[in-house]
Structure 1
Amino acid sequence: MPTRQRKIAIMGFRSVGKSSVTIQFVENHFVDSYDPTIENTFQKNQKINGQDYMLDVVDTAGQDEYSILPQTYFMSIDGYILVYSVNSRKSFDVVKVIYDKLLDMKGNIKVPVILVGNKRDVAEQFPGERAVPEDEAKSLAKEWDVPFMETSAKEHESVKEVFSKIIMAIERVEGNEPEKPSCILS
């Protein structure tokens, strides 16, 4: 099977860990220093369900509720990872705005999206720091009909799974989902 090219945008409010999640996935290490990202694209080969993928991961600049999203974020992107920080209510509110803008720009089609709550390690270490209950995020993901995960880029927790899930969401939307084995009763 030929390698499939997929372009994924990672989007969210500033300092939620978009670059940390991306670099942890691509280079397997945590970047502790924070330099605001303008925009970077990373490449990684990944095998998922026996299929080889060449992933272009677009690590976007942090968005806020007033950001005008560039047309390039809609033209060539196959799927979107929307990241908020579990210890920031504002970042959770901003991903809702980003999601609405994506739907507006993409039109009435099903948009491959995964909702990701990052910095789970902070919420576990300092429970009083959690600003977004996991159940609330799960409800939002259910309302949107998209996968949801919490991650810790710092602890390398569930980072690889995020990218596997967005690839599977893209494949489903494109009609390439592997057939589930059928059960025949006789």
Structure 2
Amino acid sequence: MPQPKYRKIAVLGYRSVGKSSLTIQFVEGQFVDSYDPTIENTFNKMVSVNGQDFNLQLVDTAGQDEYSIFPQSHSMDIHGYVLVYSVTSMKSFEVVQVLHDKLLDMVGKIQVPTVLVGNKKDLHMERVIKPEEGKKLADSWGAAFMESSAKENQTAVEVFKRIILEMEKVDGNAPSEEKKCAVM
């Protein structure tokens, strides 16, 4: 069995979009209904994807807005990002776009392993962002896109498995893609 790979993931987004709820649902398998603004929490979880164990460190960040200064700690030693907006909030969708731009500026790369998550899909009566809009934004970033509900453990698990796959792609360990080799 290969050694577990250590991966650090930052969960970013506007306030009250469900970053903590999503993270806690994934780590502990329970939905936290009360809103308690996060300063910053770190969670650890071991997970297996495609036969490889991953020792995840999840950084659940404080909610940001478009004027927040992007903390340098959110770009150092981070392997992947889960950017969360609420499908019920246009403001959170706009903020996630600003955060992505700041993130790229901070890490100095054109692309980083990212999953864009439209959370609160269970609140379909209050929806203002269509899935197509989230997908289009994620495609423009070269990122993965999903919608989730922090109330459902399955979608929370899918979000974090997806970011692992995105990080593995960057590391050249993507499953099912042919490995090509050229000798010059």
With normalisation by structure 2, the TM-score equals 0.93
Q: CA deviation at 1:109?
A: 4.4
Corresponding residue to 2:135 among 138, 149, 169: 138
SS of equivalent to 1:110: coil
In 1, Cα distance between equivalents of 2:9 and 2:86: 19
Q: Counterpart of 2:163?
A: 166
Q: CA deviation at 1:176?
A: 2.2
SS of equivalent to 2:41: strand
Paired positions, count: 178
In 2, Cα distance between equivalents of 1:181 and 1:145: 20
SS of equivalent to 1:41: strand
Corresponding position: 1:150 with 2:147: yes
Corresponding position: 1:47 with 2:51: no
Quickly say closer, same or farther: Cα 1:11–1:173, change in 2 above 3 A: same
Q: Counterpart of 2:82?
A: 81
Q: CA deviation at 1:142?
A: 1.0
Spell out the pairing of 1:7-26 with structure 2 (5 A cutoff): 7-26=8-27
In 2, Cα distance between equivalents of 1:165 and 1:155: 16
In 2, Cα distance between equivalents of 1:147 and 1:180: 17
In 2, Cα distance between equivalents of 1:95 and 1:56: 22
Spell out the pairing of 1:63-78 with structure 2 (5 A cutoff): 63-78=64-79
Q: CA deviation at 1:151?
A: 0.3
In 2, Cα distance between equivalents of 1:46 and 1:62: 26
Q: Counterpart of 2:182?
A: none
Q: Which runs of 5+ in 1 are unaligned?
A: none
Letter in 1 for 2:95: V
Q: Which moved more, 1:56-65 or 1:169-178?
A: 169-178
With normalisation by structure 1, the TM-score equals 0.92
In 2, Cα distance between equivalents of 1:178 and 1:74: 26
Q: Which moved more, 1:5-14 or 1:172-181?
A: 172-181
Q: CA deviation at 1:131?
A: 1.1
In 2, Cα distance between equivalents of 1:110 and 1:130: 29
In 1, Cα distance between equivalents of 2:73 and 2:148: 27
SS of equivalent to 1:132: coil
SS of equivalent to 2:118: strand
CA contact (8 A) 1:121 1:155 kept: no
In 2, Cα distance between equivalents of 1:110 and 1:181: 22
CA contact (8 A) 1:10 1:18 kept: yes
State the Cα RMSD in Å.
Answer: 1.3
In 1, Cα distance between equivalents of 2:18 and 2:92: 11
Report sequence identity in percent: 60
